[in-house]
């Protein structure tokens, strides 16, 4: 069995309170209520002030491996996970949080494919339209 991580965060600030991590093997899924009993950082909180993001096993694995920190962006309608990545040219720079790079890369790849298809269509129109 594989269980994705749960990220518990402060609903007001987006700061991460508990990251349960991913688990696999002989593991049993836990409920939110069980987690509040298990983790001291949650037990001392008022449950209504805590949000939770439940991720699939392996979701954002590369982002977690590469990031220097992460938090939850609570400014929009739906809370979303944002990451800060180290800047090799300025290691002392304060963190800048952004959407997961894995999502940004997937978006750029999709846009690139659309552009390549449009170029191929234009090429066919130009080459195919010369009567050859």
3-46 pLDDT, tens per residue? 999 999 999 999 999 999 999 999 999 999 999 999 999 999 99
Q: How far apart are CA 83 and CA 100, in angstroms?
A: 6
Cβ atoms of residues 71 and 82 within 8 Å: yes
pLDDT tens digits for 113-124?
A: 888 998 888 888
Torsions phi, psi for 108 (to 5 deg): -65, -40
**Residue 132 confidence (pLDDT) above 70:** no
Whole-prediction pTM: 0.76
CA distance 96 to 86: 9
């Amino acid at each position: 069995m594989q269980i994705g991580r749960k990220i518990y965060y402060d609903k007001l600030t987006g700061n991460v309170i508990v990251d349960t991590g991913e688990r696999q093997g002989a593991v049993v899924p836990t409920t939110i209520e069980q987690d509040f009993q298990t983790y001291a950082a949650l037990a001392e909180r008022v449950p209504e002030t805590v949000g939770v993001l439940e991720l699939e096993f392996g979701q954002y694995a590369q982002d977690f491996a590469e990031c220097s920190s992460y938090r939850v962006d609570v400014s929009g309608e739906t809370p979303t996970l944002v990451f800060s990545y180290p800047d090799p040219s300025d290691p002392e720079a304060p963190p800048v949080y952004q959407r997961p790079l894995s999502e940004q890369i997937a978006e750029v790849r999709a846009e690139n494919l659309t552009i390549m298809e449009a170029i191929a269509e234009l090429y066919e129109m130009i080459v195919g339209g010369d009567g050859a």
